[in-house]
């Protein structure tokens, strides 16, 4: 079964969609099967309940009971390798 990863940004869904597509590609290159979905900030609490990981493009006020990763790293490329390694480790065997 594939891991479920959600990505959300502060407003709208364009940036989170871009980051989700990049994460999906990077995970496939590593041989990790995952369902990566961009979600709206408004749907985040509900979507986080069934997720194996949450990639936050913008810091939110809420904390969710799911491993959280820095989405800005995937947006800018700064620290991307380290964040990807953490994400792979968290979801590889889900």
CA-based R_g, the chain, Å: 12
> Is residue 79 among the annotated active site residues?
no
Tokens of 22: 């990049």
From the candidates 5, 6, 7, 9, which is the catalytic residue?
9
CB atoms within 10 A of CB 31: 8
Contacts 24+ apart (CB under 8 A), 24-29: 26/74, 26/84, 27/87, 27/88, 27/91
Please answer whether residues 83 and 74 qualify as being in contact, where contact means their C-beta atoms are separated by less than 8 angstroms.
yes
> Any idea which residues carry the catalytic annotation?
9
């Amino acid at each position: 079964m594939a891991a479920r990863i959600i990505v959300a940004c502060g407003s709208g869904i364009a940036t989170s969609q871009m980051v989700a597509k990049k994460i999906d590609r990077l995970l496939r290159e590593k041989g990790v099967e995952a369902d990566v979905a961009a979600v709206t900030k408004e749907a985040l609490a509900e979507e986080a309940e069934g997720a194996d990981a949450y990639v936050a493009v913008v810091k939110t006020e809420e904390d969710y009971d799911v491993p959280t990763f820095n989405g800005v790293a995937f947006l800018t490329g700064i620290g991307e390798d380290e964040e990807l390694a953490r994400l792979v480790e968290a979801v590889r065997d889900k």
